[in-house]
Structure 1
Amino acid sequence: MLSVLFISLWLNNNAGAQQTELLNNNVVWISQSKNSSESMPVGGGDIGVNVWVEKGEVYLYLSRSGTFDENNTLLKLGRVKLKLNPNPFEGKNFKQELILKDGYVQIIGVNGKLNAQVNIWVDVFKPIVNLEVKSNHKVVVEASYESWRFEDRITKGKENNQNSYKWAPQGVVKTLKDEIGFNGNKIEFSHQNKDETVFDVVVKQQGLENYKSTLFNPLKNLKFGGVMHGEQMVAAGNYTGQYLNTPFKGWTIKSVKPSKSNQIAILLKSSQDNSLTENQKYNATKSFAETKKWWNNYWNKSFIHINSLDTLANQVGKNYQLFRYMLGANAYGLSPTKFNGGLFTFDPQLTDTSLKYTPDFRNWGGGTHAAQNQRLVYWPMLKSGDFESMKPQFDFYLNILKNAEIRTEAAWGHKGASFTEQIENFGLPNPAEYGWKRPADFNKGMEYNAWLEYEWDTVLEFCTMILETERYNGENIEKYIPLIESSLTFFREHYTYLAKQRGTKALDANGHLVLYPGSAAETYKMAYNATSTIAGLKTVLQRLLVLKSASEQQRKNWQAMLNTIPPISFREFNGKPTISPAKVWERINNTESPQLYPVFPWGIYGVGKPGLDTAINTYQLDADVLKFRSHIGWKQDNIFAARLGLTEDAARLTTLKLRDSGRRFPAFWGPGYDWTPDHNWGGSGMIGLQEMLMQCDGNKILLFPAWPKAWDVHFKLHAPYQTTVEGVLKDGKVESLKVIPESRRTDIINMLK
Structure 2
Amino acid sequence: MQAQENVIWTSQSHNSSESMPVGGGDIGLNVWVEKGEVYLYLSRSGTFDENNTLLKLGRVKLKFSPNPFEGETFKQELVLKDGYAQINGANTQIKVWVDVFNPVVHLDIKSTQKITTEASYESWRFEDRITKGKENNQNSYKWAPQGIVTTAKDEIAFKNNGIQFYHQNKAETVFDVAVKQQGLEDRKSDLFNPLKNLIFGGSMQGKNMIPSGNYAGTYLNTPFQAWKLKSKSPSLNQEITIALNTSRTEISNWEKELYSINRSSNQKASIKWWNDYWNRSFIYINSKDERANQSSRNYQLFRYMLGCNAFGKYPTKFNGGLFTFDPQLTDSTLKYSPDFRNWGGGTHTAQNQRLVYWPMLKSGDFDMMKPQFDFYLDLLKNAEIRTESAWGHKGASFTEQLENFGLPNPAEYGWKRPANFNKGMEYNAWLEYEWDTVLEFCMMILETERYDNRNIEKYLPLIESSLNFFKEHYTYLAKQRGAKTLDADGHLVLYPGSGAETYKMAYNSTSTIAALKTVIERLIEQPNLAENKKMEWKAMLKTIPEISFRNFDAHTTIAPAKLWERINNTESPQLYPVYPWGIYGVGKLGLDTAINTFKYDKDVLKFRSHVGWKQDNIFAARLGLTEEAANLTTEKLKDSDRRFPAFWGPGFDWTPDHNWGGSGMIGLQEMLMQVDGKKIYLFPAWPKGWDVHFKLYAPYQTTVEVELKNGKIESLKVLPASRKADVLNMIK
- Which residue, 680, 683, 694 being the options, matches 1:715? 694
Note if 1:609 corresponds to 2:588.
yes
CA-CA distance at 1:92 after TM superposition: 0.5
Give ranges in structure 1 of 5+ residues lacking alignment.
Answer: 1-18
What is residue 205 of structure 1 aligned with on the other side? 181
Partner of 1:528: 507
Matched, 1:582 2:561: yes
The answer to whether the 8 Å contact 2:102/2:262 transfers is no
* Candidates 292, 295, 317, aligned match of 1:338: 317
**Counterpart selection for 1:219 from 181, 192, 195:** 195
Shift of 1:276: 4.8
The aligned amino acid for 1:316 is S
For the Cα contact (< 8 Å) 1:714–1:726, is it kept in 2? yes
Match of 1:86 among 34, 49, 66: 66
Asked whether 1:702 is paired with 2:681, we answer yes
Change (3 A) 1:281 1:173: closer
User: Are residues 1:359 and 2:338 paired?
Assistant: yes
**Correspondences of 1:553-572 after superposition (within 5 Å):** 553-572=532-551
Structure 2 match to 1:683: 662
Contact 2:202 2:258 in 1 (8 A): no
| Corresponding position: 1:52 with 2:28 | no
Partner SS, residue 89 of structure 1: coil
**In structure 2, what is the equivalent of residue 118 of structure 1?**
94
Give me the identity figure in percent.
Answer: 76
Aligned to 1:637: 616
Cα distance in 2 for residues equivalent to 1:509 and 1:281: 66
One-letter amino acid of the structure 2 residue matched with residue 687 of structure 1: I
Residue 649 of structure 2 is aligned to residue 670 of structure 1: yes
Match runs of 1:137-536 below 5 Å: 137-272=113-248, 276-280=257-261, 282-284=263-265, 286=266, 288-536=267-515
Find the aligned partners of 2:604 and 2:380 in 1 and give their Cα distance: 34
Give yes or no for contact 1:85–1:140 (8 Å, CA) kept in 2: yes
Amino acid at match of 2:451: Y
Q: Are 1:573 and 2:552 matched, yes or no? A: yes
Which of residues 37, 53, 59 in structure 2 aligns to 1:73? 53
| 1:91 Cα deviation from its structure 2 partner | 1.1
Q: For 2:602 and 2:261, how far apart are their aligned partners in 1?
A: 63
How far 1:584 moved relative to its partner?
A: 0.5
Report how far residue 576 of structure 1 moved.
1.5
Structure 2: which amino acid aligns with 1:75?
L
Counterparts of 2:16 and 2:555, CA distance in 1: 52
Preserved contact between residue 92 and residue 109 of structure 2 (Cα < 8 Å): yes
Q: Is the 8 A contact 1:154 1:173 kept in 2?
A: yes
Shift of 1:277: 3.4
- Aligned pair partner of 1:735 in 705, 714, 717: 714
Counterpart residue identity of residue 34, structure 1: H
1:272 deviates by 5.0
Shift, 1:84, TM fit: 1.0
Q: Work out whether residues 725 and 737 of structure 1, in 8 Å CA contact, stay in contact via their aligned partners in 2.
A: yes
Residue 280 of structure 1: CA displacement?
5.0
Shift in Å at residue 279 of structure 1? 3.8
Quote the Cα distance in structure 2 between the aligned partners of 1:281 and 1:45: 14
Q: Deviations over 1:69-115 (max 9, x none)?
A: 000000000000011111111110100000000000000001xxxx1
Q: Is the 8 Å Cα contact of residues 642 and 692 (structure 1) preserved in structure 2?
A: yes
Mapped partners of 2:159, 2:644: distance in 1? 37
Q: Does 1:64 align with 2:44?
A: yes
In 2, Cα distance between the equivalents of 1:732 and 1:483? 45
Q: Is the 8 A contact 2:52 2:140 kept in 1?
A: yes
Contiguous gaps of at least 5 residues in structure 2:
none
C-alpha contact 2:102 2:261 (8 A) present in aligned 1: no
The amino acid that maps onto 1:278 is Y
Report the secondary structure of 2:64's partner residue.
strand
Q: Could you tell me how far apart the structure 1 residues matched to 2:88 and 2:369 are? A: 35
CA distance in 1, matches of 2:257, 2:672: 43
Determine if contact 2:319/2:653 at 8 Å carries over to the other structure. yes
The aligned amino acid for 2:163 is I
Paired with 2:373 and 2:82, the residues of 1 have a C-alpha distance of 28
CA separation in 2, counterparts of 1:190 and 1:438?
A: 38
**Could you tell me how far apart the structure 2 residues matched to 1:283 and 1:445 are?**
50
Counterpart among 661, 672, 680 of residue 693 in structure 1: 672
Q: CA deviation at 1:282?
A: 3.2
User: What per-residue deviation string (whole Å, max 9, x for no partner) do you get for residues 376-409 of structure 1?
Assistant: 0000000000011100000000000000000100
Q: Secondary structure at the match of 1:432?
A: helix
- TM-score of the superposed pair, with normalisation by structure 2: 0.99
CA distance in 1, matches of 2:121, 2:625: 52
Residue number among 74, 81, 92 corresponding to 1:101 in the alignment: 81
Tell me if structure 1 keeps the 8 A contact 2:502–2:569: yes
> Matched residue of 1:547: which SS?
coil
Counterpart Cα distance in 2 of 1:629 and 1:281 = 50
The DSSP-based 3-state class of the residue aligned with 2:166 is: strand
Q: Secondary structure at the match of 2:81?
A: coil
Instruction: Give the Cα separation in 2 of the matches to 1:281 and 1:553.
Output: 50
Cα distance in 2, alignment partners of residues 537 and 92 from structure 1: 61
Are 2:241 and 2:263, in contact at CA under 8 Å, matched by a contact in 1?
Answer: no
Shift of residue 734, structure 1, vs aligned partner:
0.6
Say whether 1:593 aligns with 2:569.
no
* Matches of 1:225 and 1:281, distance apart in 2: 16
Q: Distance in 2 between matches of 1:28 and 1:553?
A: 59
Q: Residue type of the partner of 1:37?
A: S
CA distance in 2, matches of 1:259, 1:278: 26
Contact 1:184 1:235 in 2 (8 A): no
Partner of residue 41, structure 1: 21
Shift of the 279–513 alpha-carbon distance from structure 1 to 2, 3 Å rule, reads: closer
Distance 1:566 1:260 in 2: 72
**Distance in 2, Cα, partners of 1:480 & 1:255:** 52
Letter in 2 for 1:56: G
State how far apart, in whole Å, the 2-side matches of 1:422 and 1:371 are: 7
CA distance in structure 2 between the partners assigned to 1:188 and 1:405 by the alignment = 41
Q: Which amino acid aligns with 2:389?
A: A
In 2, the alpha carbon distance for the partners of 1:352 and 1:281 equals 40
**4+ residue runs of structure 1 moved beyond 3 angstroms?**
272-277, 279-282
CA RMSD of aligned residues (A): 0.9
Quote the Cα distance in structure 1 between the aligned partners of 2:526 and 2:627.
Answer: 37
Report what 1:24 is aligned to. Answer: 4
Kept in 1: contact 2:104–2:263 (CA 8 A): no
Q: Is residue 243–residue 263 contact of structure 2 (8 Å, CA) maintained in 1?
A: no
CA contact (8 A) 1:433 1:449 kept: yes
Secondary structure of residue in 1 paired with 2:462: helix
Residue identity in the other structure for 1:575: A
How far the C-alpha of 1:551 sits from its partner, in A, is: 1.2
Task: Report if the CA contact (8 A) 2:505-2:566 is conserved.
Answer: yes
